[in-house]
Amino acid sequence: MRLSIIVLAVAATFFAAAGAAKPAPDILALKDATIYVNPTIPPIHNGVILITDGVITAVGKKNAVAVPRNARTLELKGFVVTAGLWNSHVHFFERKWAGAESAPAEELNQQLTDMFTRFGFTSVFDVTSDWQNTKSLRDRIESGEIDGPHIRSTGAGLVAPGALPSDQILNMMGLMKAPLPEVTGPEHATNIVTQSIDDGAEGVKLFAGRSDAPMPDGVIDAAIAEAHRRGKPVFLHPNNGDDVLFALNAGADVIGHTTPHSGNWNDAIFAAITEKRPALTPTLSLWTYYARHDRESTGAKIAATATKQLRGWIAAGGVVLFGTDSGANQYDPMNEYRLMMEAGMSFPEILASLTSAPTEFFGESDRLGVIEVGRDADLVVFGSDPAQQINALGDIRYTLRSGKIIYTAPPPHQ
């Protein structure tokens, strides 16, 4: 402590003597790109983005933006830039994340690249993991020691008594042991939610009970009431359409999955969507991933039911937040993009689910989600235009967080 005070004092003296109270700003210019400033308007062609100390300070046509001589530049002719992408349904519960407090930085960097940054994800919502462990990971990212996405987390989700898989099953699934609270009643639920939010969780995750392990009466209502009193969103994992309807009527904010295994959704669900305007992380690719061992026709039928549910959700006026259950699902989001298109979503709608929709839904739209002056420079650079060909969403060249390049695509093979 004493040493750092001396260092600070010496530094202050030096800067005072040199008359340089502040270091020169760091300016990065992204030049000559096609820029989707937000999903609702056509892109700027031959555009320039200036980033000063991590914040967007200019965006426009290249003849309208003067690039300062001291700026570092990234030439992006033929490339496309969007706001950084969100995956609003992920989990840091695989064994690879255990011991995040002390795991080697290089290894965590590689794991975060494999799971998120190589796909352009700059923000993720973790909706159940060991919160103390995930918090350690988040803190190491935020300190700049390792490169990764912004992490928001619900911490450990609330489950019904007897609903937890055994340690043996968790281990077979590749997951850490789960200290998820088994909730015995409404008061217990309120206490758990209070403690979790006090401990820094930014939302609450509830797992609907099952017939063999039902959630005690009043638990879901109590947890939602306490989360909302604290201004936090509630995510609910449904097992079937009845759970979706129950959760919507109880006031859950985000439905964690479509539910293709219980058949089509009914009119009561769509009426509740229209009334409440909740959000859905569709996780369409999760079902085809689970069905990978089944006959082709079985997987196709499940995918068709899930895409129909998503189509109905949108038609009823629900919000769509891109979410794949990464950690329980495979990491590559391409299959999810294709299935969203099969459900009838356009490129601007898919881009909104990845950028502006989550930032609006989670109250971050003054900081993230669109490319505007004053916003943090969380950006993705694609090799070609995903509006022309959806596969371009898989062609990430750079991922930037607050103006720092946190992923660069390897050079193509010769």
Smallest gap from residue 97 Cβ to Zn ion (A): 15
DSSP state letters, 53-88: TTEEEEEEEGGGSPPPTT-EEEE-TT-EEEEPEEEE
Stretch that binds Zn ion, among 104-112, 177-185, 321-329, 360-368 (CB under 5 A): 321-329
CA 411 distance to own-chain centroid:
27
User: Given the complex with Zn ion, which of 146 and 302 has the nearer CB atom?
Assistant: 302
Smallest gap from residue 29 Cβ to Zn ion (A): 39
User: Given the complex with Zn ion, which of 325 and 349 has the nearer CB atom?
Assistant: 325
Smallest gap from residue 207 Cβ to Zn ion (A): 9
Distances from the Cα of 400 to the Cα of 30, 85, 244, 396, 406, angstroms: 11, 10, 36, 11, 5
Stretch that binds Zn ion, among 61-69, 106-114, 150-158, 322-330 (CB under 5 A): 322-330
Are 109 and 147 in contact by the 8 Å Cβ rule? The answer is yes
Does the protein bind Zn ion through residue 325 (CB under 5 A)? Answer: yes
Q: Say how far apart CA 278 and CA 254 lie, in whole Å.
A: 6
Smallest gap from residue 252 Cβ to Zn ion (A): 14
| Position of minimal CB gap to Zn ion | 325
User: Given the complex with Zn ion, which of 287 and 382 has the nearer CB atom?
Assistant: 287
Smallest gap from residue 89 Cβ to Zn ion (A): 6
Smallest gap from residue 232 Cβ to Zn ion (A): 18
DSSP state letters, 360-408: HHTT-TTTSSS--TTSB--EEEESS-TTT-GGGGG-EEEEEETTEEEEE
User: Given the complex with Zn ion, which of 34 and 283 has the nearer CB atom?
Assistant: 283
Q: Which residues contact 251 (CB under 8 A, 6 or more apart)?
A: 224, 228, 234, 276
Stretch that binds Zn ion, among 66-74, 206-214, 274-282, 324-332 (CB under 5 A): 324-332
User: Given the complex with Zn ion, which of 226 and 325 has the nearer CB atom?
Assistant: 325
Q: Say how far apart CA 121 and CA 112 lie, in whole Å.
A: 10
Residues 29-48 within binding reach of Zn ion (CB under 5 A):
none
Are 288 and 300 in contact by the 8 Å Cβ rule? The answer is no
Smallest gap from residue 180 Cβ to Zn ion (A): 12
Stretch that binds Zn ion, among 60-68, 271-279, 320-328, 380-388 (CB under 5 A): 320-328
Residues 129-148 within binding reach of Zn ion (CB under 5 A):
none
| Residue 34 bridge partners (DSSP) | 80
Burial of 213 (0-12, 13-18, 19+ CB in 10 A): middle
Smallest gap from residue 24 Cβ to Zn ion (A): 45
Burial of 60 (0-12, 13-18, 19+ CB in 10 A): middle
Q: Say how far apart CA 319 and CA 163 lie, in whole Å.
A: 29
Distances from the Cα of 50 to the Cα of 56, 57, 263, angstroms: 6, 5, 49
Stretch that binds Zn ion, among 240-248, 318-326, 372-380, 406-414 (CB under 5 A): 318-326
Stretch that binds Zn ion, among 174-182, 243-251, 325-333, 360-368 (CB under 5 A): 325-333
User: Given the complex with Zn ion, which of 47 and 155 has the nearer CB atom?
Assistant: 155
Task: Give the interface with Zn ion as residue ranges (CB under 5 A).
Answer: 325
